[in-house]
Chains A and B, each alone.
Chain A
Amino acid sequence: MPEPASSKTIAFLIDSKLKNVSLAGVALRGICSYLSLSEIDTYYLELCVVEAVNNAIKHAYDGEEGHAVEVTITYSSDEITLKISDTGRKMSLYSPGSLDFNPDDLTTLPEHGLGLYIINSVMDEVHYDSEDEKNTLTMRKHLYKS
């Protein structure tokens, strides 16, 4: 029997500027590379971190700079957990998002709201909670190495 995989954690803060969000993505890419994940899995996980941090900046902080977004990445050989926390306005209703459109009808195509749909499609578990004025979106994915 193999020994249980031990997990490792990295946490960092970024200031609430959209220009900073790519740094969170780059950090995640580094971890995905270390875990030998495929290019597509890496892209999907980076998307989820970027979408969640974008949401925190745009919605929790109304796009205002000078606030902290906390990113915590915990990984083991078979699972990765991403936690994105803010201390801004909490989401009144966490909706997983939907993708209901007719590809042949331009008027039905979505221009907004795809972020949560992407997160819920990619990750195996997603939940959002608020405690002590801190909002956290937790996303977990089981890893299947290429």
Chain B
Amino acid sequence: MQIEDRKVGDILVVLPLEKRIDASVSTEFKGKMVDWINQGNRRIVLDLSLVDFIDSSGLGAIVSSLKTIGNDGDLVVCCIRETVMSLFKLTRMNRVFQIFAAQTEAIEALSH
């Protein structure tokens, strides 16, 4: 699974380059996220601008990443498409994650 990552200060911005985060890639995605977290990245922006499909396995991997960070940091989401947002709403994950319209807004929110 292709994922672009870059640091903005001490914030890690993660941009999946695939259209789908589904059961065929969710284990690999979760593994990469956990590696980044274990390397000390506690504030992460997940940019979903290129992702048009997430299933429950992909969503579970994102939730697992948030749980790995724990309360000593945060994982926020940005640039989420309307369709993917409907999955977050259906599963009430829109009440769990902070969701921002733009990447700059997400970085700004984590900078405080």
Q: A47 — which chain B residues lie within 8 A by C-beta?
A: 55-56, 87
Residue of B with least CB distance to A119? B56
User: A19 contacts B24, CB within 8 Å?
Assistant: yes
Stretch at the interface among A69-77, A82-90, A102-110, A123-131: A102-110
User: B55 contacts A51, CB within 8 Å?
Assistant: yes
| The residue from B22, B23, B63 contacting A110, defined by CB atoms under 8 A apart | B63
The range of chain A's interface size is 20 to 34
A21-B22, A111-B64 are known contacts. Are A103 and B56 too (CB-CB below 8 A)?
no
Smallest CB separation, A103 vs chain B (Å):
4
Provide the bound-state CA to CA distance between A94 and B87, in Å. 22
Q: A122 — which chain B residues lie within 8 A by C-beta?
A: 90
A47-B55, A50-B55 are known contacts. Are A103 and B90 too (CB-CB below 8 A)?
no
User: A21 contacts B23, CB within 8 Å?
Assistant: yes
Smallest CB separation, A41 vs chain B (Å):
10
Smallest CB separation, B75 vs chain A (Å):
10
User: A54 contacts B91, CB within 8 Å?
Assistant: no
Provide the bound-state CA to CA distance between A99 and B96, in Å. 13
User: Hey, what's the 0/1 contact readout for B86-99 against A, CB within 8 Å counting as 1?
Assistant: 11001110011000
Provide the bound-state CA to CA distance between A50 and B52, in Å. 14
User: A43 contacts B63, CB within 8 Å?
Assistant: no
B4 at interface by CB-CB < 8 Å: no
A68 at interface by CB-CB < 8 Å: no
A58 at interface by CB-CB < 8 Å: yes
| The residue from A18, A22, A54, A111 contacting B63, defined by CB atoms under 8 A apart | A111
Q: A103 — which chain B residues lie within 8 A by C-beta?
A: 92, 95-96
User: B87 contacts A43, CB within 8 Å?
Assistant: yes
User: A112 contacts B60, CB within 8 Å?
Assistant: yes
User: A114 contacts B23, CB within 8 Å?
Assistant: no
User: B67 contacts A54, CB within 8 Å?
Assistant: no
User: Hey, what's the 0/1 contact readout for A20-39 against B, CB within 8 Å counting as 1?
Assistant: 01100100000000000001
Provide the bound-state CA to CA distance between A73 and B67, in Å. 37
B57 at interface by CB-CB < 8 Å: yes
Q: A115 — which chain B residues lie within 8 A by C-beta?
A: 55-57
List residues of B whose CB falls within 8 A of some A CB: 20, 22-24, 53, 55-57, 59-61, 63-64, 66-67, 70-71, 82-84, 86-87, 90-92, 95-96
Given contacts A17-B24, A109-B66, 19 further A-B contacts (CB under 8 A): A19-B24, A22-B53, A43-B83, A44-B86, A44-B90, A51-B55, A51-B56, A54-B23, A54-B55, A54-B57, A99-B91, A103-B95, A106-B66, A106-B67, A106-B70, A106-B71, A109-B63, A111-B61, A117-B91
